Structure 1
């Protein structure tokens, strides 16, 4: 009996060892979906996840941080970044006076106060508007210039004014009108949404306009900060078919590495389908062409298909998402580029936040932005092991401006994609990912595979509150794809 017992125990031990070996071998054969070796993620932007809607802070301005920011304009001076924005509030009439926020890191924002406490008599009499819209701010002649809009809703009775200050936080002195428009005048432009841009020779220009007539650019007198020719509305650089095709909120930036000027505008309606588009030109006065060589001045039925979409309404898993993602600002600081924009929480479409996104550049010189809000990330080298795992991805189609929900995709070893033999992925550079997605519904004369050239960067996952990798880039048609790696719990 003792011998038999020993034999049984020995056999059982061998069996356990074999099963353990099989399990260990099986585990070793499984892809490591959480392999982030070599990657440095940004720190959490707050101790706890930030609520998209928080009615507790409604009347506590010092706690507003990014809440109630609309039509922001951004500037860096010394060690601080400042955002000036439209008079905006949810649940109560906004207090007039152009809101001011500041930060040292583009992450942690504090509310500073307001410029003015009422619209000027001239602006009020011209427009009947009693709040400020869409400011812009620059530094010139050793002082700061603030440009602002006052407008009558739905009409061309609009006014762009200017103020100056020796300090970015004020006090500000109103210097009166820069340009104004009115129903029945001899102009085409609507005098709202100014942005001031310096060309590569240091000459300042004002780009402005909206639905009414399109977007114009006019030269600024560097000594006064006002138009060089006050009676001239300038040069038309972007226009859509009619009032049913929204266009507004222009900004321009210059990239010396590509020697292009990049125009950004916002299309559609600010509460839901708002989205940011871009085009570029070798000349600041245009013409501006998008990725598909379409002129941004297009009053035909095809004007819905102009502009390369950079940001649109979206929803990742574990979040209701954001819409009204438009009216952007642009910033270059120490060789880094950023885009800010409004974003309205799907839980309450009137609750608007400031979103800051890092811009990265495609190999052919186009800006694309991170799918996640900025948290201090930098571009880094990634490995194939870092890429393997489950991802969410969001396509930003040019033809559909509704909220786009994420879909799942699993990237496996050796460039394979789960359940899809006709699709593949490949690292082509330090943080360059080529993703080829088979499209079974493609028309016979179009691409059967959409090939996306993507930048992979570390980021903070605001929806799941952890560090992760994201990608952003375009396909051969200039359609942007966003992606985010899912952390396996």
Structure 2
């Protein structure tokens, strides 16, 4: 059967290739750590879960429920972590933290990066550097389903400074939203890459992560800001490869590999890795 790269609870994994030629992944709170971290020499090989907290401080957050981190290397060879932090009064916003070391510890910026509280908050950030234009972006999910009123859960794209990875440039734009009949209550967990063919590929998950309907879908655009055309069928869903509720994926920057989680026991979402090549419509 298709076996996990990390046989522990390691949800919403991200992926960064560091200056020492290691692969590093970070995940949602677990094992007593705000943000978990694991390393590998070979992405498809053996991963080691590090016994350390990649984000030990709590800054503007409640100090618990850190979700779906994403780490990118900036042009000065420092690392930036985008994460979803819980406000002391409840609800989530996107935060930023920084480190000179790929594995951390990361230190939080004093203020959240994006905090659309009237829209339900924001979760699931992911960085994207467009080599064709030398522009840097952050995509994230507006957490509309937290309002429990059937509102949208748009995937939002914000251009940011290439220097610090977080100073916004211009206004954000919504590039995808849920279609109730196809996605259920939400779309989330965006991951954006540019393919060798020059297309923009947006991976995302839909339905509730708690159940078997959770999946990995994709959409394609000729321009980073859209419009995005959805793929004809999901990229991964239950029971493909024997997986149960696969989602929360992050593509490698070269658009060749994907890490994601799937249920692998009671209350446990393991990290899996897969190579991919999509036939682009």
Same fold, TM-score > 0.5, yes or no: yes
Quote the residue 2:80 is aligned against.
145
TM superposition shift of 1:118: 4.7
Q: In the alignment, is the contact (CA less than 8 A) between 2:34 and 2:64 conserved in 1?
A: no
Q: Does the residue aligned with 1:108 lie in a helix, a strand or coil?
A: coil
Unaligned runs of 5+ in 2: 145-152
The equivalent position to 2:206 in structure 1, one of 249, 259, 267, is: 267
Could you report, residue by residue, the CA deviation over 1:115-157 in whole angstroms, capped at 9, with x for unpaired residues?
133532x222xxxx622101111011221111111137xx983
Q: In the alignment, is the contact (CA less than 8 A) between 2:126 and 2:140 conserved in 1?
A: yes
- 1:21-420 correspondence runs (5 A): 65-77=6-18, 78-88=20-30, 94-106=31-43, 107-112=45-50, 113-120=52-59, 122-124=60-62, 130-140=64-74, 141-151=76-86, 157-176=91-110, 177-182=112-117, 185=118, 188=119, 190-199=121-130, 200-212=132-144, 213-229=153-169, 232=171, 234-241=172-179, 244-256=184-196, 258-271=197-210, 272-291=212-231, 308-314=233-239, 321-333=242-254, 337-345=256-264, 348-362=265-279, 365=280
Distance (whole Å) between structure 1 residues aligned to residue 121 and residue 90 of structure 2: 5
Could you report, residue by residue, the CA deviation over 1:205-229 in whole angstroms, capped at 9, with x for unpaired residues?
0110145131110111122321425
TM superposition shift of 1:361: 3.6
TM superposition shift of 1:247: 1.0
Q: How many residues align?
A: 263
Q: Does the residue aligned with 2:256 lie in a helix, a strand or coil?
A: strand
TM superposition shift of 1:97: 2.0
Distance (whole Å) between structure 2 residues aligned to residue 156 and residue 196 of structure 1: 25
Distance (whole Å) between structure 1 residues aligned to residue 143 and residue 185 of structure 2: 7
Distance (whole Å) between structure 2 residues aligned to residue 225 and residue 328 of structure 1: 21
TM-score scaled by structure 2?
0.84
Which of 1 and 2 has greater Rg? Answer: 1
TM-score scaled by structure 1?
0.50
Distance (whole Å) between structure 2 residues aligned to residue 50 and residue 311 of structure 1: 13
Q: In the alignment, is the contact (CA less than 8 A) between 1:138 and 1:146 conserved in 2?
A: yes
TM superposition shift of 1:283: 0.7
Q: In the alignment, is the contact (CA less than 8 A) between 1:247 and 1:266 conserved in 2?
A: yes
TM superposition shift of 1:173: 2.0
Distance (whole Å) between structure 2 residues aligned to residue 223 and residue 259 of structure 1: 24
Q: Does the residue aligned with 1:123 lie in a helix, a strand or coil?
A: coil
CA RMSD in angstroms comes to: 2.6
Could you report, residue by residue, the CA deviation over 1:258-296 in whole angstroms, capped at 9, with x for unpaired residues?
11000011011112211000011111111100245xxxx
Q: Does the residue aligned with 1:72 lie in a helix, a strand or coil?
A: coil
Q: In the alignment, is the contact (CA less than 8 A) between 1:157 and 1:181 conserved in 2?
A: no
Could you list the runs of 4 or more consecutive aligned residues of structure 1 that deviate by over 6 angstroms after TM superposition?
49-52
Unaligned runs of 5+ in 1: 1-48, 53-63, 89-93, 293-307, 367-489
**Structure with the larger helix share:** 1
Distance (whole Å) between structure 2 residues aligned to residue 189 and residue 264 of structure 1: 22
Q: Does the residue aligned with 2:123 lie in a helix, a strand or coil?
A: coil
